[in-house]
Copies of this chain bind each other. A is one copy, B any other.
Amino acid sequence: MEQHHQYGTESDADTAMSPGLISPRDVEAVPNPRDKNGLHTPLLQRKKTLLPDANYSVEQHQAMIGANVSPIESLDYELIENELFRQDWRSRTKHEILEYVFLKWTFVFLLGLLTGLVGFGINMAVENIAGAKFLATTKSMSASGFMPAFLLYAGSNVGLILVSSLLCVYISPAAAGSGIPEVKAYLNGVDTPNIFSLKTLFVKVFGCICTVSGGLIVGKEGPLVHIGSCIASLIGQGGSRKYHLTWRWLRYFKNDRDRRDLVTCGSAAGVAAAFRAPVGGVLFALEEVTSWWRGPLLWRAFFTTAVVAVVLRTGMAWCKGGSCGLFGEGGLIIFDVEGVKSEYGLLELFPVVVLGIIGGVLGSAFNHLNSKIVLFFGAFLNKRWRSAKVWQACLIALLTASISFGLPWFAECRPCPEHKIGQYPIGAECPTHGRAANFKGFHCPDGTYNDLANLFFNTNDDATRNLFSTGTPGEFRKSSLLIYLGASYFLAVITYGIAVPSGLFVPSILCGATYGRLVGMLMTPIAGDDRLDEGVYALLGAASFLGGSMRMTVSLCIILLELTNNLRMLPLIMLVLLVSKTVGDSFNDAVFDIHVQLKGFPFLDAHPEPFMRHLTAREAIKYTPVTFNAVERVGTVVDVLTTTRHNAFPVLEENGAVLCGLVLRYHIMVLLEKRAFLDHSDDSYIEKKPALTSSDFAKPGSGKGMRIEYLHVTPEEREKYLDLRFVANTSPYTVVETMSLAKAFTLFRQLGLRHLCVIPKKSRTERSPIVGLLTRHDFMPGYLHEQHPLLR
Residues of A within 8 A of B (CB): 1-5, 8-10, 12-24, 32, 79-82, 84-90, 92, 96-97, 100-101, 104, 251-252, 254-255, 257-258, 261, 278-279, 282-283, 287, 293-296, 298-299, 302-303, 305-306, 309-310, 313, 331-333, 338, 342, 553-554, 557-558, 561-562, 565, 567-568, 570-571, 574-575, 578, 581, 606-607, 613, 654, 657-659, 694-695, 697-699, 729-731, 733-736, 738-740, 742-743, 746-747, 750-751, 761-764, 769
Contacts and interface: CB of A to CB of B under 8 A. Distances in A.
25 contacts: A3-B299, A8-B294, A13-B97, A13-B104, A19-B85, A20-B80, A22-B79, A22-B86, A79-B742, A79-B743, A278-B570, A298-B553, A299-B553, A302-B574, A303-B578, A306-B571, A309-B570, A309-B574, A310-B571, A310-B575, A654-B762, A730-B738, A731-B740, A734-B735, A764-B764
B85 A20 contact: yes
Contacts of A333: 567-568
Given A15-B79, A553-B298, A567-B562, A21 B88 contact: yes
A762 B764 CA distance: 10
B295 A8 contact: yes
Given A294-B606, A306-B571, A747-B751, 11 more contacts: A5-B296, A12-B296, A16-B255, A19-B697, A24-B731, A32-B90, A278-B570, A299-B553, A302-B557, A302-B578, A764-B769
Q: Which of A20, A87, A736 has the most CB of B within 10 A?
A: A20
Nearest to A310: B571
Contact of A729 (B1, B20, B751): B20
Given A1-B298, A342-B331, A698 B554 contact: no
Contacts of A581: 299
Contacts of A5: 296, 299
Contacts of A84: 20
Contact of A658 (B92, B729, B761): B761
Q: Which of A2, A5, A278, A730 has the most CB of B within 10 A?
A: A730
A658 to B, nearest CB: 5
A740 B574 CA distance: 46
A289 B699 CA distance: 36
B100 A252 contact: no
Contacts of A578: 302-303, 306
Contacts of A606: 294-295
A282 B5 CA distance: 18
Contacts of A19: 79-80, 85, 254-255, 694, 697-699
A580 to B, nearest CB: 13
A8 B574 CA distance: 33
